[in-house]
Structures are given as C-alpha cells and as structure tokens.
Amino acid sequence: MNRIYLDHAATTPLRPEVRQAMEPYEVAHYGNPSSLHARGRAARAGLDDARDRLAQILGCRAGEIIFTSGGTEADNLALIGVSEAHPHQPLWISAVEHRAVLDAAAYLRDRRGVPVHEIPVDHQGRVQVEWVLDHVTPDTALVSVMYVNNEIGTVEPIRVLGQALRERGILFHVDAVQAAEYFPLADLPCDLLSLSAHKFGGPKGAGLLRIRRDVEIVPLLHGGGQERERRPGTENVAGMVGMATALELAAEERELAAARVASLRDRLLAHLRQALPDTRVYGPLAQADAASPPETSEGAPSDTSPSILCVGWPGITGETMVVALDLAGVEVSSGAACSAGSLAPSHVLKALGLEAQEAAGGVRFSLGRETTREEVDEAARRVIETVERLRERQRRGD
C-alpha cells in the first residue's frame, strides 16, 4: 500500500538541495566554529554566511539573529528571556498559541509570579486588534501572537497589531514557525520572531530567534559566549547552513507553491464535503466556499494557510481518525504534533468556542510541496471510506 504523507505542519522532508549544502559542514568543515585553527575558521565562515543569508530574507541585521535548537527553544527564550529582563511585568498571550508559548507563559505565571493574560480569538481563531489595544497596559512586558496557526491555519493580523504595539512602546513576539514556507517574513513589525528549519524543508534541531538589537533579554542557558552571550553552546553549523538554504528556496518559490498547495487543499475539501456533507471545517475555511478561498493579489490565500485543513465528523474523535487513517496508509495529525497521544480536547478548537466533545474531534491535514493531485484524490477516497467504516461499526455497536 502506498502511504500518503499529509502531516507537513508537523515536519517536512529534508530537501535534497539542503542536504547537499549541509554535507561539507558534516564531513570536511566539522571544526568547532569557536576554534581559531583552519577547520574552526572554515566552520565559522559557514555559520556567518548562513546568518547573513537569513538576515537578508528577514530584513534585519545579522547580529539580531540568535541560533537555537528549534522553535520551542526560540519561543522559550523570547518569553522567559524578556520576562526575566522585566520582572513581574505582565504578558499577553493569544489563546491559540503553540504549546511552546503557552507552557513557557504558564511557567512564568506559576513559578515566577508573572501576571499572564489570555487574548481571546473569534470563531475563526483570529485575534482582534482593537481588543488587544483596549486591554494591554503601558507596563506590559511582551505580547505574543503567532503568525499562522499550526492547527487550523488562521493567519493573524500581525502587521497591523505589531505596528500599533510599536507605537505604544510594547514589545511584540511572533511565532512564525508555520509561516515561513508560504508567507513573507521581511520587515515584520515585531521585536522577536521564532523560526524552526524543519517546517520548511530544513533539518530538525535548527532554529532561530530574531531579536531586535535594543531588546533586553536574559539567556536561558549559561556556560559560553556564543551567540553574543544570549544562547551559549557550540552552534550546529551544518543545521544553520541547511536552514539558510531551505529558507532561501522557500522564499524563491513562495507564491507559486502557495497557490499550488492551496488548490490541492481545496480539492481535498471539496471531495470530503461532497461525499460527507456533515464534514465540519474549522478555521477561516469554515465560512468560505472551498473552491474560491479569499485571495491576495498574488493569488495566495490571505487569511489562512494554503497547506492546512482542519476538519471533523460528528461522533468520531480525532485520535480515532488518526489511528484508523494510519492503518489506511494516510498520515495526518489530531491537533498539534506536540500534543499527539493526548486525548485532551484541542485548546485551539476550544478557543473557537467549541464544546469539549467536538474540540476532541479535529483532524489536521497539512499538504506540502511534494503532495500530488493523485495523492489528494486517493487520500480523499481513503478518508471517506474510513469515516463510513467507523460509522458502520458505531451502528453495529462494535
């Protein structure tokens, strides 16, 4: 049976060009970039070049990029690092953030006594800028709102919100982990921005936090002077070279890739809606005709990720569907990958106002550059067959 991978929001395959770019730093230029000898200097040159290339894409100074082990560390450094620099000043966090942000905020609240406030979202998962501006106070240490939601694909109004917060002198963090492959990253009005390479064709274990140069932050780790003493530890040179290559490729292909993947997502949704009319759709696509989603002038979806589709069916839990589809050869997720294995309802779907039972039923399909039309059609057939089979078992009382 041919397996179909529709879980690109969890991780993406390493691109061949990225693997090729990384190889010299895993084999020949394996020196420690802090060493002064020839191999160390060669590693340092590769690291510096990767930082320069990433800075060009992000529209920032190279010195504002701090390399991390991935998005989780970057999110933790942003929240905890800023909070430690501004003790006991309140944080505002959107209700639909990734667990890396929510749990870091919970740590600060429970262990450090930091006031942490939740920003609600509407039924599509979107933060309302006016609400935020009405509630944040001048002593706020940080506001954190993600760029693209990893479960339902909602694109948040970060440019408008970021500009408004900047005018008030309030620091703004954006988790852009799910945005890098399909949305522009240059010149975003934020003070801190998190990325993770494996979400856009790069290697696992490589990420970054862009920190505006005048932002004060306390490091989480201690024991070295790397990364301008903000993130000590020997850098993953090959990983950072791979991340730079992957982000360059994503930026070059962004508009065409977004339009192509969105058309495949819409095709999948159309198949499901036609055969299973009670299919529930979560996020911005719930209110739109799947055949004609909202578009920007470039033809890419403007208010939702082109790759993410979150749906559910009455009476069937997300975990049940994930297991059943895996047996059918279709690889998907129930909620965020980091929550896999948990029967708890999705905090994102609950934030939309859904009851716990329905919030436990979401299934996330996330397509990627490699996804083909034939795979989408076959996946739809297997999903439909799986839902009908599970319902037949329910009718029989199995």
Domain final position from 194, 219, 248: 248
232 and 380 in a single domain? The answer is no
260 and 237 in a single domain? The answer is no
Structure token digits, residue 175? 């988790």
313 and 348 in a single domain? The answer is yes
Range of the domain at 292: 4-11+254-396
- What kind and span of H or E run contains 50? helix 38-58
240 and 104 in a single domain? The answer is yes
88 and 205 in a single domain? The answer is yes
Which residue in the block uniquely carries the two structure tokens 């504002």?
64
Output the tens digit of pLDDT for each of the chain's 398 residues: 899 999 999 999 999 999 999 999 999 999 999 999 999 999 999 999 999 999 999 999 999 999 999 999 999 999 999 999 999 999 999 999 999 999 999 999 999 999 999 999 999 999 999 999 999 999 999 999 999 999 999 999 999 999 999 999 999 999 999 999 999 999 999 999 999 999 999 999 999 999 999 999 999 999 989 999 999 999 999 999 999 999 999 999 999 999 999 999 999 999 999 999 999 999 999 876 544 444 433 334 468 999 999 999 999 999 999 999 999 999 999 964 444 455 689 999 999 999 999 999 999 999 999 999 999 999 999 999 999 999 999 898 87
Domain final position from 188, 214, 248: 248
Task: Say which CATH number the domain at 125 has.
Answer: 3.40.640.10
237 and 372 in a single domain? The answer is no
76 and 221 in a single domain? The answer is yes
Which residue in 320, 322, 332 sits closest to 371, CA to CA? 332
- The Cα 211–Cα 122 span in angstroms is 29
Residues known to be catalytic: 338
Domain final position from 248, 263, 283: 248
302 and 337 in a single domain? The answer is yes
148 and 258 in a single domain? The answer is no
110 and 201 in a single domain? The answer is yes
Q: Based on the structure, what is the number of domains in the chain? A: 2
Instruction: State the Cα angle at 22 between 29 and 78, rounded to 5°.
Output: 100
264 and 243 in a single domain? The answer is no
Task: Say which CATH number the domain at 362 has.
Answer: 3.90.1150.10
Which residue in 254, 273, 276 sits closest to 265, CA to CA? 273
Q: pTM score, two decimals?
A: 0.94
51 and 134 in a single domain? The answer is yes
- The Cα 371–Cα 39 span in angstroms is 40
